[in-house]
Amino acid sequence: MDASILHIVWTVVAFVFFIGVLFWALSSRRKDDFDKASRMALDDDEAVTDDQRRKT
């Protein structure tokens, strides 16, 4: 096999993988998971006071 054929095959495989990840990430089934993950830092149960912030 010629090296250029391997480069072409690798490019096609990487592109197909990229498209697969893109469809997985943008699928409507994943929306709830991503919305929950995006709110994790804001949904902290304990309020942090200014004094606690200064200690760290």
Q: What residue ranges do the domains of the chain occupy?
A: 3-55
pLDDT in tens, 34-44: 888 888 877 76
Q: What contacts 2, CB < 8 A, 6 or more positions away?
A: none
For residue 56, the SS3 value is coil
Percentage helix, strand, coil, to 5, in the chain?
75, 0, 25
Asked whether residue 56 carries a pLDDT value surpassing 60, the answer given is no
| pLDDT tens profile 4-36 | 999 999 999 999 999 999 998 888 888 888 888
Closest-CA residue to 25 (of 38, 12, 41): 38
CA atoms within 13 A on the CB side of 49: 3
Q: What is the pTM of this model?
A: 0.56
